[in-house]
Amino acid sequence: MATIGHNNLNAKLVGPSSLFSISFCFFFLSQSFSIPMMFSPCSFHQVLLGDMGAGKSSLVLRFVKGQFLEFQESTIGAAFFSQTLAVNDATVKFEIWDTAGQERYHSLAPMYYRGAAAAIIVYDITSSDSFTRAKKWVQELQKQGNPNMVMALAGNKADLEDKRKVTAEEARVYAEENGLFFMETSAKTASNVNDIFYEIAKRLPRAQPAQNPAGMVLVDRPAEGTRAASCCS
Amino acid sequence: MYGTKSKIDLAFEYQSQVAVLRPSIHSRRANLTVKFQDLYGFTVEGNVDDVNVLNEVREKVRQQGRVWWALEASKGANWYLQTTIGQGSALTSSLKFSAMANAITLKKLIRKGIPPVLRPKIWFSLSGAAKKKSTVPDSYYDDLTKAVEGKVTPATRQIDHDLPRTFPGHPWLDTPEGHAALRRVLVAYSFRDSDVGYCQGLNYVAALLLLVMKTEEDAFWMLAVLLENVLVNDCYTNNLSGCHVEQRVFKDLLSKKCPRIATHLEALEFDVSLVTTEWFLCLFSKSLPSETALRVWDVIFYEGAKVIFNVALAIFKMKENELVLTHHVGEVINILQMTTHHLFDPDDLLTVAFDKIGSMTTNTISKQRKKQEPEVMKELDQRIRRLNSLRMEDK
């Protein structure tokens, strides 16, 4: 089942919809199961920022498509994804901008974070430089981003424990001091990936209640190999 | 490279390159997604209709090939180099006329596509790469690659990081040999022009140049002519100021050439740069199928950077009726991405780009750039000052 994180969390992925409209999904399902789905999710603009190679694209790809590629194409400018979550009695649609990490692309960043409701600042736990860079992003967003922005700090590549350069404690302290919430993630193993997005969804302004019956899973995430069978894949 | 082969050999090599795609019988029966390799080794996904379009396109390419061979036979191997009219009064009117006729023929021919086998030779001559190379010693590229071997800079570190992330899965680029060739080209250029160094996006451009040009050295010179002569200055330098200028010029042109789309997207608060930045920085190499992207490059190398604007506008124009019905940013992006990824017929795109968008001269674009440049520089300067003041506060 597509439950996010621990089993006691009542959050479900409504449908992987990177680059595809999710409306077809709901039409397809309502036709198949004769369930009326008068349903309008709350849309939130979200941005991922962080150093080149920190794993921003891998995090989004894992969240949206349940995939991990050892070598993910480098992002130029930014890439757009969307994903819908059912959180308790509400539905949240994330419109995610995954930005380029190279320093010279910094000048394009305001275009992507302007008006964003949430941001995930990603660093690589095996690179102290990427943590320093993450702090600069936090500082910039605090001063120039949306004042009500929900900010998360993600210490990615947590599976590379033997190469760790940034301790979880150091990052946690920094996050607490700066009003962010912090999680260590691994796009490779999927550890905490869904959880970080779910935590953001919980902290966003209250979403509209979902119109579908409570607790119903609109689209289960199929196992890796059966992905193509999904109506939205 | 070309002197050793006769035209007949080239023609045969070319014919064998343009294979007919045959999806399996099952995929022909149902409208399933089929995967196949294109001419340059990229895996393409499409339905059977897409395969049929590609086969039609390849047939057109074969016909174009015959036209080029016929011209070579009648006018001589390098006829396309006789397209410039000299300043000297000694030039007879008949020579002037023949040069002009050649230029008109060439422009039309290039817009219809250069046969893949002739691409390296024609690009190298017409882009100015051959001329650029001729101004330095023959050993320039070899000397440069030897001189920089083993040197570590921020640029080389970033290049190394991006090598396996440049068209991963490609049968040649994603091999140790492919990585090494791409690395040498990018590192050499980063030392040739330290203002550019290495900018993400150039990896895709250089990779595609390597696939077309066949030799590293030719790919290097094509990259050099592209960045130094064809594209706007500072497109890839440390704050991408040239890219910002191009985006503003593009928005201006979109308002003029496609007012319905521009007005609608403005109402949605959608900034087209969100999508078009990648088109401009990668010259469509990441967004269009490779055979379509290279048809666009055919024209860029002959007519200049204005072509990027024509093509970008054409992509919007082709989907005008759908775009004006959108309600969300996501829908706009879906339409544009689905369109670019399935643009298997370059003629469709280029017909709109040159016939429906209307002519835009390099001069017009240059004036627009001059108008936008001060505004961009002012904005970037303010931004740097703001960020510096943030850092000062922090200390």
Helix (H, G, I), strand (E, B) or coil at A123: strand
Residue A12 has pLDDT above 90, yes or no: no
Residue B361 has pLDDT above 90, yes or no: no
Output the six-digit token pair for B73.
Answer: 């036979």
Q: How far is B304 from chain A (nearest CA, A)?
A: 22
The Cα B170–Cα B118 span in angstroms is: 23
Residue A97: the pLDDT is: 95
| Backbone Cα Rg of chain B | 22
Higher pLDDT, A34 or A60: A60
Residue B144 has pLDDT above 90, yes or no: yes
CB pair distance less than 8 Å for A139 and B391: yes
- Helix (H), strand (E) at residue A122: strand A118-124
Determine the distance from the C-alpha atom of residue B271 to the mean position of all C-alpha atoms in its chain, rounded to a whole number.
23
Residue B304 has pLDDT above 80, yes or no: yes
Task: Identify from B329, B338, B392 which residue to disrupt to test chain A contact, counting A C-beta atoms within 10 A and taking the largest count.
Answer: B329
Residue type, B168: P
Which burial class, exposed, middle or buried, applies to B184 when counting CB atoms under 10 A from its CB (0-12, 13-18, 19+)?
buried
The Cα A81–Cα A91 span in angstroms is: 17
Beta-carbon count within 10 A of A152 CB = 22
Residue B85: the pLDDT is: 46
Residue B256: the pLDDT is: 86
CB pair distance less than 8 Å for B240 and A77: no
Q: What does pLDDT average to over chain A? A: 76
Task: Identify from A24, A52, A74 which residue to disrupt to test chain B contact, counting B C-beta atoms within 10 A and taking the largest count.
Answer: A74
- Number of independent structural domains in chain B: 1
Residue B129: the pLDDT is: 98
Please calculate the CA angle B164-B170-B173 and round it to the nearest 5 degrees: 60
Q: How far is A33 from chain B (nearest CA, A)?
A: 25
Residue B368 has pLDDT above 90, yes or no: no
| Backbone Cα Rg of chain A | 17
CB pair distance less than 8 Å for A107 and B330: no
Higher pLDDT, B254 or A221: B254
Q: Which residue of A has its CA nearest to B167?
A: A73
The Cα A116–Cα A44 span in angstroms is: 7
Higher pLDDT, A188 or B44: A188
Average pLDDT over residues B295-302: 97
Band (B393; pLDDT cuts 50, 70, 90): low
CATH of segment(s) A42-203: 3.40.50.300
Neighboring chain B residues of A136 at a CB cutoff of 8 Å: 391
Residue B391: the pLDDT is: 61
Band (A137; pLDDT cuts 50, 70, 90): very high
Q: How far is A7 from chain B (nearest CA, A)?
A: 31
Residue B55 has pLDDT above 50, yes or no: yes
Residue B62: inside a domain? no
CB pair distance less than 8 Å for B278 and A76: yes
Residue B330: inside a domain? yes
**Which are the contacts of A205, defined by CB distance < 8 A and separation ≥ 6?**
A117, A148
Beta-carbon count within 10 A of A226 CB = 10
- Can you give the CATH number for the domain in which B373 is found? 1.10.472.80
What letters, b where the CB count within 10 A reaches 16 and e where it falls short, cover B357-392? beebeeeebeebbeebbeebeeeeeebeeebeeeee
DSSP codes joined into one string, A87-118: ETTEEEEEEEEEE--SGGGGGGHHHHHTT-SE
Q: What does pLDDT average to over chain B? A: 86
Residue B84: inside a domain? no
Q: State pLDDT tens for residues B58-115.
A: 888 988 898 997 988 988 888 887 665 454 545 456 655 567 677 878 988 899 899 9
Residue B153: the pLDDT is: 95
Residue B150 has pLDDT above 80, yes or no: yes
- The DSSP 8-state label assigned to residue B395 in this structure reads -
Q: Which of residues 267-326 of B touch A (CB under 8 A)?
A: 269, 271, 273-274, 277-278, 281-282, 286
Specify the pairing of strand A11-16 against strand A90-99: unpaired
Least confident among A12-26, A94-108, A173-187, B175-189: A12-26
Residue B145 has pLDDT above 90, yes or no: yes
Q: How far is A132 from chain B (nearest CA, A)?
A: 13
Average pLDDT over residues B218-227: 97
Which domain range does residue B343 map to?
241-394
Residue type, B78: N
Residue B271: inside a domain? yes
Band (A167; pLDDT cuts 50, 70, 90): very high
Average pLDDT over residues B187-200: 96
DSSP codes joined into one string, B332-393: HHHHHHHHHHT---HHHHHHIIIIIS----HHHHHHHHHHHHHHHHHHHHHHHHHHHHHHHH
Beta-carbon count within 10 A of B154 CB = 11
Q: State pLDDT tens for residues B11-32.
A: 434 444 556 554 554 444 456 7
Q: Which of residues 92-111 of B touch A (CB under 8 A)?
A: none
The Cα B179–Cα B175 span in angstroms is: 6
